[in-house]
Amino acid sequence: MKKLSFLFLIFISFTSCKKFLDVNTTPNNPTAVPPNTILPTTTIGMGFANSNDLDRATSALAQHIAGVGNQTAAYDVYNLDGNFDNQWNGEIYGINLSDLQILIDQYSETSPAYSGIAKLEMAYLFSIATDIWGEVPYSQAAQGLKFTNPRFDKQEDIYQGNSVLGITSLFDLVKSGLADLAKTSNVFVPGSDDIVYKGDRTKWARMGNTLLLKFAIQISNKNPALATSTIASVITGNNYINSNALDFEVPFAAPVGNQNALYTFNNLNRTGDQMLSTRLLNLEKSLNDTVRLAKFFTKPNGVFTSFDNGATGAAPALATRSKYNTYLTGTSGEAPIRLLTYAQVKFILAESALILGTTGVANTLYQEGITASMQKVGMTAAEISNYFTTNPTVVTLSGTTEQQRAQIITQKYISWIGNGIEAYNDYRRTGYPPLTLVNNAQGDNPNVIPTRLPYTITELSSNPNAPNPRPKTDVKLWFAK
Amino acid sequence: MRKLVMLIMAITLSVSHLWAQERTMTGKVTDDKGAPIPGASVIVKGTNSGTTTNADGVFSISVPAKATTLVVSSINMQDVEIVIGNQSVLNVTLQTSAKNLQEVVITALGISRDKRSLGYASQNIKGEELANKGEVNIVNALQGKVAGVNITNASGGAGSSTNINIRGISSFTGSNQPLFVIDGIPISNDVDRTNSGPNGTLGDNQPANRAIDLDINNVESINILKGPAAAALYGSRASAGAIIVTTKKGGSGKGKAEIIVNSNYSIQSAFGLPKVQNIYGQGAGGVFNSTTNNSFGPKFGSTPSIANGLIVSGTPVANYNAFPDNINDFFRDGNTFENNVTINTGDAVRNQTFSLGNVTQNGILYNTNFKRTDLRFGANAPVGEKMKVGGSITYTNTSQKGTIGGNNSGLASLLGLARNIDLTSYRVNGTYKNPNGTNNYLLPGVDNPYFDQYENPLTSNLNRFTGYANVGYDMFKWLNISYRLGGDIYTDRRKQIFAISSGRVPTGNVREEMFFRSEINGDLIIRATKNHLFLDGLSLTGLVGQNINQRKFQDLAVQGDALAIPGFYNASNGSVFTVGSGESTTLRRLVGYYGQASFNYNNYLFLELTGRSDQSSTLPKDKNTYFYPSANISFVFTDALKIKSDIFSYGKVRANYAKVGRDADPYLLNNLYVSEAFGNNVASFTFPFGTSAGFGASSRIAPIVLSPEFKTSYEAGVNLQFFKNRVALDVTYYSEDSKSQIINVAVPPSTGFSTFTTNIGELTNKGLEITASATVIRGKNFTWDLNANFTRQRNLVVSIAPGVDNTFIPGSRFTGSVASFKTGYPYGVIIGNVIPRSPDGQRIINPASGLYQPTVAGGILADPNPDYQFGVTNIINYKAFNLGFTFDFTKGGQVLSFTAATYKARGALDITAVDREQPHILPGVILDAASGKYYPNNIQISGQTNWSNGMGGLQSEFNVFDATVLHLRELTLGYNAPASFTKDLKLAGLHFGIFARNVFYVAPNSPIDPQLNTQGAGNIRGLDLQGVPNARSIGFNIKITI
């Protein structure tokens, strides 16, 4: 009997275990997801990439803000090395570009509405990458094992394309996206998952054309012909962002986890790290523009309290510092992150009319740009008209072409407070507004305002195609002046 | 045949068959000092009939008429054969066999073996060598005592995690922690991390490794199986070695109950804090600033002025003076109170044991503690003549209370605290929080360290059942079948609170988390023996077995963010539940078949062959079976060649080869999508966004094919004993080669992903292990025993993948100091940014700034692998007193210390005050662009710039220190009350002791104790991430045996 029971045990033990072992399907993650769960990721991702560390660094370099603590204080004095891995790895190439590639790969045929949007978003993200770092992985990027060590493409090739190297230009990428959006046969169509335009593809087409304007002006130093023809054709097409309501802005919301990064950083987690730059305050005072400035920055106790970039003295008491105001942060982090704006369009067209001779009157476009910006930040009609009447020299272009250009870019610079990347782009492209070195500058070259951000450590140490040692931050990018 | 059966029985002391009774003999077995030896085996020579002595050393045995000789043996004693003659009372004295001549060790699958038969290295430690030393984590207690084993604890915090590696690291990304086996049942030594999210990633102290749930008082012995050969039968999971724990059984006194009461109390204090300056206070550039944690302000005693910032709005700054102990006083004296009661009854065959233990530890940080209560019951009994059943069950409740360190934590802000901050008064006056309950601190955005301690606790409450049931049946005299079923199940309920206004979570949150782990393990083992196989003196023990193993894990968390009501810590108080809430479940199963053939020729030549075939659920279905063999040989040449002498008492050579396969982690075979999140601790975004989900591709690319990984090992060793076994030497050399590892290999981030799962890479380990022991002095009243161990281990990453030079080790990582494996280097080097050097090796200065040139990424910042390690334990007995002390020494290896870096960059470290106001020149050279030549740096910079920029930066090579350190790890002094005294109290024994742990250390090249590893149990080593310092422990114990 006992022997039998043992045999029984053995029998149990040796029975087939095929089913027993078939337990390797993960209950934790899906292996396939519909496109409407990916689009919110990439769209939020664009807004996040624009408003997190890259924004803090470029806002400090553009002297919108002054850093007073931790990393922002380091950025402020050009200690930039080793800081942007999270942005490169997790806000641009990882998550965003890889997910956009999935939308393009999986839905170009069946649901071009998604691939079209994806191409526009992708073009925007790649433009951020190259505008900040110059030569970056582009044509071989974010495609997984297809290119295990993506090549670093030259900035001129990224913007202009290079058929020998198989590089599609950013312009063509946008155009391909616009073509996809124009297609009508879709299995899946974006709806509420399109958190910016709620599935309205005509608005996406405007966003795409506005991107073309942004790219064109960005390369206008180096390829004025392409810039001119692109802008002229967009003007002719007349299908770009033509009102503040159509601005391409990524929404955020008040609940924890959904707040915009400007709010979580400045109002919650790093309340003491950055504040209004004395240099921006002085500029705005010189332009009598403090009503608008108060929309961007707080005035504790009714006064602006700023800090000079790089100063070593004690920063003002926390409660008295002028910090980002609700236009940028919302009262609880619900302000959108504005990526492409009507004001930007007007300033681009003004500059283009001035230097490239495209259609339009530069002064009119300039004034429309200022008005759009003032309306956007919430100045009343009376405040705006008062500003225009009391500051005729500010709101009217005059002098040489360069002087007029300086006026345009300065106004554009003010309109971009909170979006340091765009202000920093224009500064490097035009030299306006003229900025001076910060106090106690350090970094690669303490005598030059950095003209690029350093490459990131993870990429440098893992990709043999990365330029290592990296170029110093005083080496100008292709598009720069 | 019978001889072999008898041998096994004699060794296991587990069976007592009765022979035809002819007459009864009685006697007493004592040692050379006259003390009775309980549990000694008394066997009629030539039979399998025997008995064991009771607690008083007395035995009674029936012997057949024709029997002539009794064999008396006991562990660690030399066997004695006594001619019976016509006596009826026999008193026997056994001599100590100083060194393990007949040492019985518990090997894989719980099989007892004579150590001489083993063809591989193993080291046995007795429970009593570990218990009663004020150490609650059994892994820490092993520190300095075992060759080939590297143990580093995360901190001196209550219940902190400890890393243990045997023979170094052999798996790139898999677990390299050895398998813990208790009474034949594998148990979890996992680390379950709370909050791997933005609030806990960097510098977070890990929670305990779960071996901490083991009560050291219950441990009879620990056998450490070091190489794959020793652990081959355990299969994949023991490829990093195995820690075989045997718990105490009842039955030490025949038929007589024994009650042991053990108590100890000890006091812990923080030690190893860096030395600080007390000359300069808060500020920058010599100007006072009340909102900085840096001490680059004016000198204490400076005349207040507006220029030096000490006059603010016309009034001088109050209390601008040094608080020299403001960091030390943050720590308190912790204490540990440990009690254990064990009741043993029965004899070797039928016995019961019951124990109840409790440890209560109050940590060196305020409001932290560790408590463990364990209840254990075990029993063994025969059922009829041929069957034996046994089992044990242990219930453990472990609770822990601590704080999460890391970025922006109070602990991080404590490091190098500005010298004039009076931190203690916040605690004394309770002003670390405002009247409305919010954080009150003078530094913006940072928690008052006391606020973190008191208001942001992380608590854990774990209930664990571990147990087994064992049925053995002697089907024939030569064939035994047994089945052992074991389980280890626990649920750990955690609660983490961040109060409203906390620096890291300003809106507050409550996280309720439950970790569940269960492991079920079944082994069917059929053992057969055959003596006189083919020729006289050759015996064979064969074993075949089958193993079923299932492991389940679940992590379930709900997190309520943005708390509405201050101080109410129920998840319902949250208004957002989408951040950090979730579920993760894994299930893995394995079925293994194994066999072992052990040949024994005349008890001096042993050969053993094993093979195991595993089938794992985690591998592709068509390729989920893998086989691996091992062979080992042991040759006791002193016996074989009969060259034993008084000087050369024992000699054995041994060698082995083993291959061990290993499966993958679950769910690696498919590409997955994850709910995405952006950002880190300073700004983050989590999906869903309102009602919109946000999924995306996981950052890992699934493998195209995946097969098991294999490790091949060769080992050779020699045991030598001299002077009647008073001196023993054991030398082992091994070489291991691990190939085709399953790795998530790093790909450049610009691919859009971070890793790719594949079989690739090769890692080798070579090492030398020496243990030596000697009875230096043996007198009637005085003995001095010495045990020493030495480890030298060399590890090399031979290759990773084509085109891949290095990959990060999974775990939390801080860009710029990434623990990695890099081709051509030992495992675990810290890769970061290094300052460029001139051709003659000097650091190059940037002529524009006087600081170093921009660093170059991808350099080797630190190598945590030591050159060698050794430990020495001395035990000196004088009459009833015994004195023990253990030193351990580590030569070489490096640690990157964020702690030291922070002290330095904040201007708090003592050296930063030296010539502070004088110009500094960084050591280095400047390249003259015109001539291409280098000349010495001559650019003056300020003291502050020198320390916070030049040599500052958490990840600077200036914060990498040589980890050479000597520790006096343990010091004990004990006293055994004399029998005359205990008899009066009707006690069987009474022992008093005092002890100290971590008594002192000498680290010549490091400002901190370099033997800290913030990441605790895991593959990341050599990083001190602003952790809690080590703790020194001093206490006393009392042990009463009734």
pLDDT in the model for residue B912: 92
> What is residue B973's three-state secondary structure?
strand
Please check whether residue B563 lies inside any domain of the structure: yes
The three-class DSSP label of residue A70 is: helix
Segments of chain A with pLDDT less than 50? 1-2, 11
Q: A437-472 pLDDT, tens per residue?
A: 999 888 888 899 999 999 998 898 889 999 978 899
**Residues 6 or more apart in contact with residue A470 via CB below 8 angstroms:** A454, A455, A460, B854, B857
* Structure confidence at residue B985 (pLDDT): 83
Residues B174 and B206 in one domain: yes
Task: Name the 3-class secondary structure at B979.
Answer: helix
**Which of B291, B578, B616 is closest, CB to CB, to A272?**
B291
Do the Cβ atoms of A48 and B679 come within 8 Å? yes
In this complex, the residue of A22, A29, A268 whose CB is nearest that of residue B672 is A29
Q: Crossing angle of helices A39-51/A112-133, nearest 10°?
A: 20
Co-location of B595 and B472 in the same domain: yes
Residues 6+ apart with CB under 8 A from A408: A347, A350, A351, A354, A362, A366, A369, A397
Chain B: nearest CA to A53, how far in angstroms?
Answer: 9
Taking alpha carbons only, the member of B311, B309, B286 closest to residue B297 is B286
Write the burial class of residue A390 (CB in 10 Å: 0-12 exposed, 13-18 middle, 19+ buried).
Answer: exposed
Burial class of residue A73 (count of CB atoms within 10 Å of its CB; 0-12, 13-18, 19+): buried
pLDDT digits (tens, 9 = 90+) for B126-158: 888 888 777 888 888 888 788 888 887 777 777
Please name the member of B683, B694, B804 whose beta carbon is closest to the beta carbon of A52.
Answer: B683
Q: Chain A residues with CB inside 8 Å of B689's CB?
A: 40, 44, 195, 253, 258
Question: Do B951 and B969 have their domain in common?
Answer: no
Contact B473 A6 (CB under 8 A): yes
Percentage of chain A with pLDDT > 70? 96
For residues A204 and A181, is the Cβ–Cβ distance under 8 A?
A: yes
A264, A313, A315 ranked by CB distance to B683: nearest: A264
What is the rounded CA–CA span in Å between residue A405 and residue B25? Answer: 116
A15 interfacial to chain B (CB closer than 8 Å): no
How many CB atoms sit inside 10 A of residue A165's CB?
A: 12
Q: Are B966 and B1002 in contact (CB under 8 A)?
A: yes
Is the predicted pLDDT of residue B364 greater than 60, yes or no?
yes
- Smallest CA–CA separation between B383 and chain A, in Å? 11
Give the residue carrying structure tokens 């990498």.
Answer: B960
Residue B1020 has pLDDT above 90, yes or no: no
- Nearest Cα residue to A312 out of A126, A137, A442, A451: A442
Count how many domains chain A has: 1
| Minimum Cα–Cα distance from A5: chain B residue | B473
Looking at the domain assignment, is residue A108 inside a domain?
A: yes
pLDDT at residue number B203:
45
At B951, is the pLDDT very low, low, confident or very high (cuts 50, 70, 90)? confident
Predicted pLDDT of residue B252: 59
Interface of A with B in 161-200 (CB under 8 A): 192-193, 195
pLDDT tens per residue, range B958-970: 999 999 999 998 8
Contacts of A72 in chain B (CB under 8 A): none
- In the numeric block, which tokens belong to residue B663? 């499966």
In a domain, A65, yes or no: yes
- Of residues B206 and B474, the one with the higher pLDDT is B474
Q: How many CA atoms lie within 13 A of B748 on its CB side?
A: 30
Supply the ipTM of this predicted assembly: 0.95
Same domain, B943 and B984: no
Asked whether B743 and B706 are in contact (CB, 8 A), the reply is: no
Residue B851: inside a domain, yes or no?
A: no
B206 occurs within a structural domain:
yes
Burial class (CB in 10 A: 0-12, 13-18, 19+), B381: middle
More confident residue, B798 or B162: B798
Q: How far apart are CA A71 and CA A81, in angstroms?
A: 11
Are the beta carbons of B696 and A143 separated by less than 8 Å? no
d(CA A139, CA A165): 9
Mean pLDDT value across chain B: 86
Q: Which of residues 250-269 of A touch B (CB under 8 A)?
A: 252-253, 255-259, 261, 264-265, 268-269
Q: For residues B390 and B255, state if they share a domain.
A: yes
Q: How far apart are CA B8 and CA B21, in angstroms?
A: 23
Rounded CA separation B216/B982 (Å): 26
Q: What is the pLDDT of residues B863-877, one digit of tens each?
A: 999 999 999 999 999
Residue A40 C-alpha, separation from nearest chain B C-alpha, in angstroms:
5
Total Cβ atoms within 10 A of residue A155: 23
| A445 vs B584, B848, B857: nearest CB | B848
- What distance in Å separates the CA atoms of residue B872 and residue B886, rounded to the nearest whole number? 5
pLDDT in tens, B83-103: 777 777 778 887 765 444 456
Instruction: Looking at the complex, report in whole angstroms how far the Cα of residue B703 sits from the nearest Cα belonging to chain A.
Output: 11
Residue-number span of the structural domain to which B764 is assigned = 138-270+334-668+722-828+863-893+965-1041
Least Cα distance to A133 among A72, A83, A95, A99 occurs for A83
Give mean pLDDT, residues B524-543: 88
pLDDT at B97: 56
Whether residue B559 is found in the same domain as residue B449: yes
User: Is residue B283 domain-resident?
Assistant: no
CA distance A140 to B213: 51
> Which contiguous run of DSSP H or E holds residue A404?
helix A401-415
Q: Is the pLDDT at B254 greater than 60, yes or no? A: no
- Examine residue B48 and state whether it is found in any structural domain, yes or no: yes
Share of chain B above pLDDT 90, in %: 47
d(CA B302, CA B309): 11
Q: How far apart are the C-alpha atoms of A392 and A400, rounded to whole Å?
A: 17
Interface of A with B in 299-338 (CB under 8 A): 312-315, 317-318
CB A309 within 8 Å of CB A75: no
Q: Are residues B18 and B155 in the same domain?
A: no
First-to-final CA distance of chain B: 42
**Which residue has 């919650």 as its token pair?**
A268
Q: What are phi and psi of A380, to 5 degrees?
A: -75, 160
For residues B867 and B1003, state if they share a domain: yes
The DSSP annotation for B148-186 comes to: TEEEEES-SSTT--EEEEESS---SSS--SPEEEETTEE
CB contact, 8 Å: A148 with chain B? yes
Cα separation of B884 and B874, whole Å?
A: 5
A7 part of a folded domain: no
Interface of A with B in 357-386 (CB under 8 A): none
Average pLDDT over residues B941-954: 84
Average pLDDT over residues B404-425: 85
Of A29, A97, A468, the CB nearest to B674: A29
As a whole number of angstroms, the distance between CA B845 and CA B834 comes to 13
pLDDT tens-digit readout, B569-587: 999 999 989 888 889 999 9
Residue A222's domain is classified under what CATH number? Answer: 1.25.40.390
- Cα–chain-centroid distance for residue B386? 40
H helix and E strand count, chain B: 10, 55
Residue B3: the pLDDT is 47
**Which structural domain range is residue A109 located in?**
35-257+335-462
Confidence class for position B255, pLDDT limits 50, 70, 90 = low
How far is C-alpha B690 from the chain's CA centre? 45
Write the CATH number for B73.
Answer: 2.60.40.1120
Q: Could you give the dihedral angle defined by the CA atoms of residues B898, B903, B906 and B909, in that order, rounded to the nearest 10 degrees?
A: -150
User: Residue A5: what pLDDT?
Assistant: 52
Token representation of residue B297: 């302000």
What pLDDT does residue B195 have? 62
- Based on the domain organization, do B395 and B262 belong to the same domain? yes
Cα R_g (chain A), whole angstroms: 25
Least confident among A436-440, B74-78, B270-274, B618-622 = B74-78
In a domain, B713, yes or no: no
* Per-residue pLDDT tens over the stretch B258-317: 898 999 999 999 888 889 999 999 988 888 988 888 999 999 999 999 888 898 888 888
Residues B504 and B413 in one domain: yes
Tokens 């000198």 label which residue?
Answer: B299
Is B244 a residue whose pLDDT tops 50?
yes
pLDDT at B5 over 80: no
Same domain, B71 and B154: no
Tell me the pLDDT tens digit for each residue of B489-512. Answer: 999 999 999 999 988 888 899 999
Does B658 lie in the same domain as B673? no
The total number of structural domains in chain B stands at 4
Q: How confident is the model at residue B237 (pLDDT cuts 50, 70, 90)?
A: confident
Domain contains A149? yes
Does A458 fall in a domain? yes
